[in-house]
Structure 1
Amino acid sequence: MFQLLLAVIYLAFISLGLPDSLLGSAWPIMYKEFSVPLSAVGLITIIIALGTIISSLQSDRLTKKLGTGKVTLFSVLMTAIALFGFSISRSFLSLCLWAIPYGLGAGSVDASLNNYVALHYKSRHMSWLHCMWGVGASIGPYIMGYALTGGQTWSDGFRIISILQLVLTVILLFSLPLWKKQKSDNIIEEIEVNKKPLKLKEIIQFPGAKAVMVTFFCYCALESTTGLWASSYLVLHWQIHPETAASFASLFYVGITVGRALSGFLTMKFNDSQMIRLGLGVIAIGVLALLLPLGEQAALVGLIIIGFGCAPVYPSIIHSTPKHFGKDKSQAVIGVQMASAYVGACIMPPLFGLIANYINVALLPVYLTGLLILMFVMHEKLIRDTK
């Protein structure tokens, strides 16, 4: 039963990734139909991000009231409904309204599932599960591309993903007894869970809480900024052909996905803190390849190296949370961590956009270096504060 539940969780992580890159892959066609500027997608992503921040902060309350199984079930169902809403939208305002349940559904399930895995499974599963998220994020654009090239529309692409989410909802519904059985079987040591949800002001007073929030903020800021601006950096600074730049920019995400698959094996030898330090060191090598005047080939390879370096950081920070803060507080802390991550991903890429626009896009590796240094300092502070 324990392994069957793990298989359901793997499916859930694939489901989390499926919609994440769907809007971006369809937007070049969608914005023309809705007669809005290309940049209008930013408003939709901001609404989604705000929803995920709100639901992440509520994940502790929801999980203690409903349990991880039901939170996952309702969140996936909400996402499925939101995606169907996207598919039937005929105005930009409608898209913005459907983005609200999409964001609210995404945040709570992410925090709740990550905490469950951190408590019940070994570090390698956290890495492999986040690798499955990458698989889902890769499949999403493929499904949209299949719909567009097969004589269908972007609406059909959203509808297909919505149906897949509904299928997973049914699987999750039938899997609810597995979550209850694991609790009754006492497979791992029983932990005392505070019945009263912790407030935000209480959480941030924990030793190391502020440090881990900044660490997560910096990581997601670095990952999302690299993913968004790498292609423009290669084209504008190194005069690399746009198609070549786009393909290498996509390899950044391939590097993260493959790197997480490999990280699962490395966690059998190294602990979470060592994996994070290893990842940060590899990121530093990749950023250095962008920063030094070594030529365009070094810049292309550096981008892939950054992806490999990013691979172990996110899952290892999550998995180490119960160790740093205690199993009874981990759900609350992970919810706040997730909120910090979404804030970083929402604010920092547009901030670099202003730098690129008004100063120089060549400052991308300098920007990433600043985030990397702050991340390293805060992670070391986290370790000291929680000893």
Structure 2
Amino acid sequence: MYLLLLAIIYLAFISLGLPDSLVGAGWPVMHEDLGVPVSFAGGVTFIIAVGTIVSSLASERLTRRFGAGLVTTVSVVLTAVALLGFSTASQFWMLCLWAVPYGLGAGAVDAALNNYVALHYTARHMNWLHSFWGVGASISPFVMSLALSADGNWPAAYRTIGLLQVGLAAVLLASLPLWQRVAAASPGESTGEAASSEATAADGAAGSARGHVSLRTALRIPGVPSVLLAFFAYCAFEQTAMLWGATFFVSDRGFDASTAASFGALFILGLTAGRFLCGFFADRVGDRQLIRGGFLLGAVGATIVALPLGQVSFVGFALAGIGAAPVYPAVIHSTPANFGRANSQAIIGIQMAAAYTGTTIMPPLFGLISGRVGLWLLPFYLLALALLGLVMTERLNRLPRGRSEVAKPR
């Protein structure tokens, strides 16, 4: 029963990834059809990210009241409705309208599931779960590429992914009795991955019984500001690459929209493959080495993209994705060890807010800057974010681990 619940969580991560790369893959054609400048993509992602921040901050309260299963199901339904709404949009303001439920659906379940896995499962499951997010995110660009190569019909891609989300929502809805049975059962043993009987309380999802740690108190814990800046930089790196990669290959390197969408998908493919492979050795290598190596390889990939290598530059984009692969799951998984289990739920929630702030601010900022300077700036922008993340995590690594007594929950 517990392994089946873990499989449901894997399915939920696929559903989280499905919509994430659609806007970036289709925007080279979408902005022309909608009659808006290319930089307006940042406006859509801004609205989505704000909704995600709001719902992620409310996720602990929602999960405690309604249970992780119902929150996850409703979130997937919201994203499905939003994607089907995107497929009907004929004007830019319609995209902005449907971006609201899109963002709200994406955020509510994220912090709770991530903290649950960080507390009760090994690093390999954290990597594999985020690899399954990448599976979802990798499907979308190819669906968009097929739609664009057929007749430029980008709404068909949104409709297809929306219907896939409807199917996933149906599976999650059918699984609700399983979540309830697992929550009701509290045996003293686990599946072999959980650390304690707390892990069986799936609807608690994140140790919600622990006390509240205020934002001010959390920021006073040594290392928290550093990890927040590192997570900000990483998520800005990831989202900027996904959003602007295809447009960069069209406008700066001269590829057609269909080819560029496929090249843009290489970042997500690298992300997905890298997380899957990291799952096999993450427990041996450790979170710190995975984070350090990830930022370094991401910087190398961005440097290769910056070089005038023609079509070979897509290799750099793939390397950047492979490098980025272990950073997100390793930062989340290391939170209980870095700051103490009692503080992990609060700090992971704040990390999510920092992550979504990065995805909210930095991709639109690049859109504004590139509108004046040019899209050639993309690899240098990504390189700066990778180096910022590396510096901040190295600063964190110099501090002692397990600072669980620094901040008392209150």
Equivalent residue in structure 2 for 1:321, among 335, 359, 365 = 335
CA contact (8 A) 2:131 2:273 kept: yes
> Residues 294-373 of structure 1 correspond to what in structure 2 (within 5 A)?
295-296=309-310, 299-359=313-373, 363-373=377-387
1:267 aligns with 2:282: yes
> Residues 280-299 of structure 1 correspond to what in structure 2 (within 5 A)?
280-290=295-305, 295-296=309-310, 299=313
**Structure 1 residues 8 and 141, CA gap change in structure 2 (3 angstroms):** same
Per-residue deviation at 1:300?
Answer: 4.2
- What's 1:70 paired with? 70
- What's 2:216 paired with? 201
* Deviation readout 1:111-156 (Å, 9 max, x if unpaired): 2222222223221122122121122122224445556777896555
- What's 1:129 paired with? 129
Per-residue deviation at 1:182?
Answer: 4.0
Amino acid at match of 1:333: I
- What's 1:242 paired with? 255
CA contact (8 A) 1:61 1:197 kept: no
Equivalent residue in structure 2 for 1:383, among 382, 386, 397 = 397
User: Structure 2: how far apart are the matches of 1:107 and 1:365?
Assistant: 28
User: Which has the higher mean CA deviation after the structures are superposed, 302-311 or 354-363?
Assistant: 354-363
CA contact (8 A) 2:296 2:390 kept: no
Amino acid at match of 1:189: S
CA contact (8 A) 1:267 1:275 kept: yes
Per-residue deviation at 1:313?
Answer: 0.8
Paired positions, count: 384
Secondary structure, counterpart of 2:285 in structure 1: coil
User: Structure 1: how far apart are the matches of 2:140 and 2:380?
Assistant: 32
User: Which has the higher mean CA deviation after the structures are superposed, 174-183 or 257-266?
Assistant: 174-183
1:185 aligns with 2:200: no
Q: TM-score, normalised by structure 1?
A: 0.84
> Residues 162-177 of structure 1 correspond to what in structure 2 (within 5 A)?
162-177=162-177
Extract unaligned runs of 5+ from structure 1: none
- What's 1:11 paired with? 11
CA contact (8 A) 1:64 1:195 kept: no
Q: TM-score, normalised by structure 2?
A: 0.80
Amino acid at match of 1:42: G
User: Structure 2: how far apart are the matches of 1:341 and 1:302?
Assistant: 24
Secondary structure, counterpart of 1:19 in structure 2: coil
Secondary structure, counterpart of 1:44 in structure 2: helix
**Structure 1 residues 82 and 290, CA gap change in structure 2 (3 angstroms):** closer
CA contact (8 A) 2:84 2:162 kept: yes
**Structure 1 residues 181 and 379, CA gap change in structure 2 (3 angstroms):** farther
- What's 1:21 paired with? 21
**Structure 1 residues 140 and 201, CA gap change in structure 2 (3 angstroms):** same
User: Structure 2: how far apart are the matches of 1:361 and 1:149?
Assistant: 23
**Structure 1 residues 318 and 235, CA gap change in structure 2 (3 angstroms):** same
User: Which has the higher mean CA deviation after the structures are superposed, 92-101 or 255-264?
Assistant: 92-101
- What's 1:115 paired with? 115
**Structure 1 residues 95 and 246, CA gap change in structure 2 (3 angstroms):** closer
* Deviation readout 1:90-109 (Å, 9 max, x if unpaired): 55434322221211110122
Amino acid at match of 2:327: V
Per-residue deviation at 1:70?
Answer: 2.6
User: Structure 2: how far apart are the matches of 1:72 and 1:42?
Assistant: 27
CA contact (8 A) 1:272 1:319 kept: yes
User: Structure 2: how far apart are the matches of 1:147 and 1:365?
Assistant: 27
**Structure 1 residues 224 and 383, CA gap change in structure 2 (3 angstroms):** same
User: Structure 1: how far apart are the matches of 2:95 and 2:251?
Assistant: 32
User: Structure 2: how far apart are the matches of 1:205 and 1:58?
Assistant: 23
Secondary structure, counterpart of 1:329 in structure 2: helix
CA contact (8 A) 1:14 1:132 kept: yes
User: Structure 2: how far apart are the matches of 1:331 and 1:260?
Assistant: 23
